[in-house]
């Protein structure tokens, strides 16, 4: 840079971005006006409505409470039909329905839905199953991995559609008691990811034992390169590896559960829950735009990403249990 251009830049730096923008305002001024209006509305609302004090009646955890609709009890175990069961059946029905519908109407010139499904199918086949498993295992386990991916995806996605499931707060519309609309997802309940994880956990151990034999499989838990280590230290590392296998049960299930639950809680609090809980109506003006942002983030990224991660990790675990090198 020559001295000339530096001399030109110096005064422009002093006057703080003089570039003329449409409307005669610089970007900085627009940002400040926008932020000012955003907080100004909230402060104005606070001055008008003030604070009603903390709301003790509203219990946010009740949004995730499962109310039995049809009580069923078999041998002391609760089999009641509740909204989690409804979401479970909805997700399963959607997965089976979409796949069968597309499979029946396969066309040479695909329409948009078929293209989308084909892209997803390709991804589950090549990236998830093909990426971490050898060809034979990928062929064997692809249906399971794809079903896992699509089921979790549908389950997460319908979790963001408001459905009339909240029977605790029924609204009376022309004499008909309609449950209020609420969002909930089957995967926002720990039991369902935990069952999926148990299936995955047991099947990768079974695959490992079948591929290598019981004792060789246990020995393969040890990382390579420990051949000339003394047995005591080997046993210690084996215990650590065994703990890490048990920890997979927790990490795989809690990852999915926590992501979806936290997403739903954020939407609940940002979409008005926080304002109701604290009794400050003005807070709603601040949090409501954030609710849109989080909704887009959850629907656009987290729902798909978590389904992808769950099935990818399943494939990685299966691959790790059966691969010869490890």
Of the pair 256, 291, the CB lying nearest another protein is at 256
Nearer to another protein, 254 or 290 (CB): 254
Binding another protein (rule: CB under 8 A), the pick from 61, 107, 108, 135 is 61
Q: Using the rule CB under 8 A, which residue among 163, 211, 258, 299 binds another protein?
A: 258
Quote the least distance from Cβ 255 to another protein, whole Å: 4
Give residues with Cβ within 8 angstroms of 151, minimum separation 6. 91, 92, 95
Q: Does 251 bind another protein (CB under 8 A)?
A: yes
Is 51 a binder of another protein (CB under 8 A)?
no
Q: Does 127 bind another protein (CB under 8 A)?
A: yes
In the complex with another protein, the residue whose CB is nearer, 178 or 301, is: 301
Q: 231-268 and 282-297 helices cross at what angle (nearest 10)?
A: 130
Inter-residue contact 275 to 281 (CB < 8 Å):
yes
Minimum CB distance to another protein, residue 159 (Å): 15
* Binding status of residue 254 toward another protein by CB under 8 A: yes
- Tell the smallest beta-carbon distance from residue 111 to another protein (Å): 26
- Residue 29 or 190: the one with the smaller Cβ distance to another protein is 190
**Shorter beta-carbon distance to another protein: residue 281 or 313:** 313
- From the list 187, 90, 192, 99, the residue with the least C-alpha distance to 146 is 99
Q: How far is the CB of 322 from another protein (least distance, A)?
A: 20
Q: Which of 147, 157, 261, 278 binds another protein (CB under 8 A)?
A: 261
Residue 189 tokens read as 């309940």
- What is the smallest separation between the CB atom of 240 and another protein, expressed in angstroms? 19
Q: Closer CB to another protein, residue 166 or residue 312?
A: 312
259 near another protein, rule: CB under 8 A: yes
Binding to another protein, residues 283-322 (CB under 8 A): 305-306, 308-309, 312
Judged by CB under 8 A, the stretch of 193-201, 231-239, 248-256, 318-326 that binds another protein is 248-256
Q: How far is the CB of 265 from another protein (least distance, A)?
A: 7
For another protein (CB under 8 A), the number of binding residues is 18
Annotate the chain with three-state secondary structure.
Answer: CCHHHHHHHHHHHHCCCCCCCHHHCCHHHHHHHHHHHHHHHHHHHHHHHCECCCCCCCCHHHHHCCCCCECCEECCEECCECHHHHHHHHHHHHHHHHHHHHHHCCCCCCCHHHHHHHHHHHHHHHHHHHHHCCHHHHHHHHHHHHHHHHHHHHHHHHCCCCEEEEEEEEEEECCEEEEEEECCCHHHCCHHHHHHHHHHHHHHHHHHHHHHCHHHHHHCCCCCCCCCCCHHHHHHHHHHHHHHHHHHHHHHHHHHHHHHHHHHHHHHHHHHHHHHHHCECHHHHHHHHHHHHHHHHHHHHHHHHHHHHHHHHHHHHHHHHHCCCC
Of 245 and 255, which has the nearer Cβ to another protein? 255
Residues of this chain that bind another protein (CB under 8 A): 60-61, 127, 131, 251, 254-255, 257-259, 261-262, 265, 305-306, 308-309, 312
């Amino acid at each position: 840079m020559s001295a000339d251009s530096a001399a030109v830049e110096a005064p422009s730096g002093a006057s703080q971005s003089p570039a003329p923008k449409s409307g005669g305002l610089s970007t900085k001024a627009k940002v400040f006006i926008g932020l000012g209006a955003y907080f100004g509305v909230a402060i104005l609302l606070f001055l008008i409505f003030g604070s009603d004090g903390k709301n003790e009646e509203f219990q946010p955890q009740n949004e995730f409470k499962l109310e039995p609709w049809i009580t069923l009890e078999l041998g002391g175990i609760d089999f009641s039909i509740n909204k989690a069961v409804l979401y479970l059946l909805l997700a399963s029905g959607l997965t089976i329905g979409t796949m069968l519908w597309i499979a029946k109407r396969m066309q040479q010139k695909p329409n948009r839905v078929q293209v989308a499904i084909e892209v997803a199918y390709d991804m589950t086949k090549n990236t998830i199953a093909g990426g971490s498993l050898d060809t034979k295992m990928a062929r064997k386990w692809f249906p399971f991995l794809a079903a896992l991916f699509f089921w979790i995806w549908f389950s997460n996605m319908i979790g963001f559609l408001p459905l009339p499931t909240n029977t605790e707060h029924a609204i009376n519309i022309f004499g008909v008691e309609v449950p209020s609309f609420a969002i909930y997802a089957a995967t926002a309940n720990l039991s369902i990811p935990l069952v999926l994880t148990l299936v995955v956990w047991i099947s990768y151990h079974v695959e490992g034992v079948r591929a290598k034999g019981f004792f060789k499989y246990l020995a393969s838990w040890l990382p390579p390169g420990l051949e000339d280590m003394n047995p005591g230290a080997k046993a210690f590392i084996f215990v650590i590896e065994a703990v890490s296998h048990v920890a997979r049960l927790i990490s795989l299930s809690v990852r999915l559960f926590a992501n979806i639950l936290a997403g739903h809680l954020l939407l609940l609090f940002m979409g008005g829950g926080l304002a109701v809980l604290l009794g400050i109506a003005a807070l709603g003006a601040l949090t409501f735009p954030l609710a849109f942002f989080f909704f887009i983030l959850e629907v656009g990224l987290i729902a798909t990403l978590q389904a992808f991660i769950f099935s990818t990790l399943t494939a990685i675990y299966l691959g790790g249990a059966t691969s010869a090198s490890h």
